[in-house]
Amino acid sequence: MNITILTLFPDMFSGFATNSIMKRAIGKGVATINVVNIRDYTKDKYGRTDTPPIGGGAGLIEKCQPIVDALKANRKEDSHVILMSPRGHTYDQKAAQRFAELNDLIIVCGHYEGIDERVNAYCDELISIGDYVLTGGEIPAMAIADSVIRLLDGAITKDSLTDESFNADLLEYPQYTEPYDSKAKRSPTSFTAATTKPSKNGGGSNRFCLQKSIGPIYSRRFPYRSKTKNSSPNATKREPQIGKNKL
């Protein structure tokens, strides 16, 4: 799989692809990461990629032309283009699994006050990683690339992907390591008695692990969702015009 990231700040990714699982996956040929500097495509005589918004307002808006030309130069026939945007659908594990099935993913990172609205028409999808503000789309792009690449065959062991958070809409059960008895707390005997992974039809340690996976969903996730379900940001966002223009 190839992931191309369009950004004004390529140096932010220098350590991302050269450490930990990303480094191993790239070294094995499981994935490639191509970071493209949007500034290389500007036609502005002063080399600018952003200007004040038309009609006035705070900050600077990234211009349409450099981004569109960068997409034209890097988009393939089977590319799927996503734009990091607070107006996008909230990213989750199901989206990561869907992206992991692609051959070529392009992530467009905004910065400053935002991106010219006309860029939306050249993208297939808008994605948000949550309802908070960052200085740019670079950190979200790293989060998406990391979550997708780790799902690819050969990136990590298959056992590590079997029982983990958000599989089957559960959170992963608590885990412990040596020593069994620490100053803080003793590890549960249900874990030390067996090392079997949880199973819906299993007993003993399996049943204990499953209960511990279900518990956090009700105690930590449902109360939050119930408070916000009537004010979901996705329910009130105005749908942008996405994917209307073909390169």
Question: What single letter denotes the amino acid at residue 114?
Answer: G
Which residues are CB-contacts of 155 (< 8 A; sequence separation ≥ 6)?
21, 24, 25, 28, 30, 31, 149
What gap in Å lies between CA 150 and CA 139, rounded to an integer?
17
Q: Is the dihedral of CA 223, 226, 231, 232 positive or negative?
A: positive
- Kindly report the CATH number that applies to the domain delimited by 2-156: 3.40.1280.10
Distance of CA 206 to the CA centre of its chain: 31
Tell me: the pLDDT tens digits for 183-241?
Answer: 667 666 655 554 445 444 444 456 555 555 555 555 555 544 444 444 444 444 455 66
- DSSP characters over 196-246: PPP-TT--THHHHHHHHHHHHIIIIIHHHHHHHGGG-HHHHPPPP--S-S-
- Residue 11 CB burial class (10 angstroms; 0-12, 13-18, ≥19): exposed
Phi, psi of 97 (to 5 degrees): -65, -35
What is the DSSP code (8-state) at residue 153?
B
Fill in the DSSP letter of residue 187.
P
Is the pTM for the entire model greater than 0.75? no
pLDDT single digits (tens) 18-46: 898 899 999 999 999 999 999 999 999 99
